[in-house]
Amino acid sequence: MITLAADTVPVSWSAIAPEIVLLGCACALLCIAVFMPLGLGRVASAGVAAGGFVAAMVVSVTQYEDTARYAFDHTLRIDSFGQAGRLVVFSAGLLAVLVAWGSPWLRDRAVECFALMLTAAAGMSLLVVANSFVTVFVALELFSLCLYILVALDVDSLGSLEGGLKYLIVGAVGAALLLYGSALVYGATGAFEFDRIAEAVRAGDNRDPLLLTGLGLILVGLGFKANAAPFHMWTPDAYQGAPTAVTTFMSAATKAVALVTTLRVLVVAFPEQSELWTTLLAALAIASFVVGNLAALRQTDVKRMLAYSTIGHTGFLFTAVAAKSVLGTQALVYYLVVYAATNIGAFGIVAVREREIGRPVQIDDFRGYAYRRPVLGVAMIVFMLSLAGIPPTAGFIGKLTIFSAAVDSDLTYLAIAGVVATMVALVYYLRVPFAMLDREARVPIVRNRSGMVPASLAVAVSALAVLVLFFIPGPLLDVAKTAGQSLLGG
């Protein structure tokens, strides 16, 4: 009789505690769908989803200062950098639940929407602490499949179905390239774990064509998820067609996990190839500046304009990643938090305006809006100024820290490109405030609809965060510095 012995991998429940909380809440929502009436289930599902995100945030906060450690045989690395990414995802999920509440399309699909959102957040949470390409692929597919469905969830809208289909096709291509690149890296190094890949590269040939080809394909796959040009083709249609609450969640959370994962993969697994991937990231950043900002100039639909805007902002985020330093990581984390708050608030106001006029929002639909809805109007002006990088908003501090990191890492040309991109972006960002403050415009008729208080609350919280982080940036910068040191040391 032959006995097969296998090493037992220690199970660290604390390492995956946020995922357990989120998936447990998603399962609870499915039970709600079975045993509760539709109206009561809709209310309960929003409460369970919000509670799940809050509980996951509490778990991550309690672990933030813990010493970095590996779990599940080096397939996960639990550190402050990963916890920062988790907190951005959970915060975006919580605010997206508030934005979604009261949406007409959500009446019959609340349970499914919130369950998918919780499951997607669990996949994102796992991705930002992944230390193995196997875990990266599993986590990426978990949240991507949920997002494909969420984008197409408004089945009565042709734009929603079209956006979901395009996102599915392009996302599948990106995932396939990432998987193939991971396989090539495994063939060259014999490892899937990031730290073990780096050890194998240092002991072997760091210019192995197989390894470099794999690295290139991995960058392309991550570029699709970060909606960097020229891999951005899914972004405008998916953002415009998806229900606005889903777009709110995607614009903040997906961007955060893509950038956090990209930085971790590159600096941990491929430090010996840093000169190569820095050049590639710089090229993608400049392409994103050009494509995102020039395309946004032509848009009149607000959601589509903001979609192209996110492509332009990928250029700033890739600049921070290319800096490959503690200062660059600090700038990345700070910018992701500010960008998430700004985008959630902007899309939240778009969601409110959609309910008021009953159709997609054009820039002209905001004419005179600041006089009809002064609080929301002022908040939207704050968000546009923050995206443009104008004081007194946190977007100014965010861009300044990224430019400082770029100059400190001898990437001055990227800082200059970012300044030029900022000047171009002013043209389309300021169109919204000018429309809102147009005194000669006919004040738009506003339909009073129920369920706008939660969305307005999400907008208010986001606007307050954008302003406070300008006047008091120190605490968040300190937290971001801790995240950078946990990843890079120093």
Quick check: 4 pLDDT over 50? Answer: no
Higher pLDDT, 444 or 96: 96
Instruction: Provide the pLDDT for residue 442.
Output: 66
| Confidence tier at 482 by pLDDT (50, 70, 90) | very high
CA angle (254, 280, 77) in 5-degree steps:
50
Note the pLDDT tens digit of each residue in 118-157.
999 999 999 999 999 999 999 999 999 999 999 998 888 8
Q: What is the mean pLDDT of residues 448-458?
A: 77
Note the pLDDT tens digit of each residue in 176-203.
999 999 999 999 999 999 999 999 998 8
The crossing angle, in degrees rounded to 10, of helices 412-429 and 274-296 is 20
Residue 200 domain-assigned (yes or no)? yes
Instruction: Provide the pLDDT for residue 193.
Output: 93
Residue 196 domain-assigned (yes or no)? yes
Number of helical (H) and strand (E) elements in the chain, helices listed first: 21, 2
Lowest mean pLDDT among 148-162, 209-223, 260-274, 376-390: 148-162
Instruction: Provide the pLDDT for residue 31.
Output: 84
Instruction: Provide the pLDDT for residue 2.
Output: 44
Note the pLDDT tens digit of each residue in 272-312.
998 999 999 999 999 999 999 999 999 999 999 999 999 99
Helix (H) / strand (E) element for 53: namely helix 38-63
Residue 7 domain-assigned (yes or no)? no
Percentage with pLDDT > 70 across the chain: 95
Instruction: Provide the pLDDT for residue 267.
Output: 94
Note the pLDDT tens digit of each residue in 266-276.
999 999 998 99
Quick check: 252 pLDDT over 70? Answer: yes
Residue 316 domain-assigned (yes or no)? yes
Q: What is the mean pLDDT of residues 437-460?
A: 73
Quick check: 261 pLDDT over 50? Answer: yes
Query: 243 is written with which tokens?
Result: 């229900």
Lowest mean pLDDT among 107-116, 180-189, 433-442: 433-442
Residue 276 domain-assigned (yes or no)? yes
Residue 8 domain-assigned (yes or no)? no
Q: What is the mean pLDDT of residues 336-352?
A: 94
Quick check: 108 pLDDT over 80? Answer: no
CA angle (45, 48, 52) in 5-degree steps:
140
| Confidence tier at 207 by pLDDT (50, 70, 90) | confident
Lowest mean pLDDT among 67-76, 102-111, 305-314, 345-354: 102-111
Q: Which amino acid is at 271?
A: P
Close Cβ partners of 405 (under 8 Å, ≥ 6 residues apart): 319, 320, 323, 325, 327, 328, 330, 331
Query: Domain range spanning residue 450?
Result: 13-488
Residue 1 domain-assigned (yes or no)? no
Quick check: 5 pLDDT over 60? Answer: no
Instruction: Provide the pLDDT for residue 449.
Output: 58
Quick check: 329 pLDDT over 50? Answer: yes
Collapsing DSSP to helix, strand or coil, 70 comes out as strand
Q: What is the mean pLDDT of residues 26-50?
A: 82
* Residue whose entry in the numeric block shows the structure tokens 């009073």: 448
Q: What is the mean pLDDT of residues 211-220?
A: 94
| Confidence tier at 30 by pLDDT (50, 70, 90) | confident
Instruction: Provide the pLDDT for residue 110.
Output: 85
Note the pLDDT tens digit of each residue in 50-101.
999 999 999 999 998 888 899 988 899 999 999 999 999 999 999 999 998 8
CA dist list (Å): 278 to 193, 273, 410: 21, 9, 11
Residue 373 domain-assigned (yes or no)? yes
N- to C-terminal Cα distance for the chain?
Answer: 54
490 burial type by CB count under 10 A (0-12 exposed, 13-18 middle, 19+ buried): exposed
| Confidence tier at 42 by pLDDT (50, 70, 90) | confident
| Confidence tier at 451 by pLDDT (50, 70, 90) | low
Report the chain's mean pLDDT, rounded to a whole number. 90
- Split into its structural domains, the chain has a count of 1
d(CA 418, CA 459): 27
Collapsing DSSP to helix, strand or coil, 325 comes out as coil
The alpha carbon of residue 328 and the mean position of all alpha carbons in its chain are separated, in whole angstroms, by 18
Q: Name which of 372, 425, 375 is nearest 396 in CA terms.
A: 425
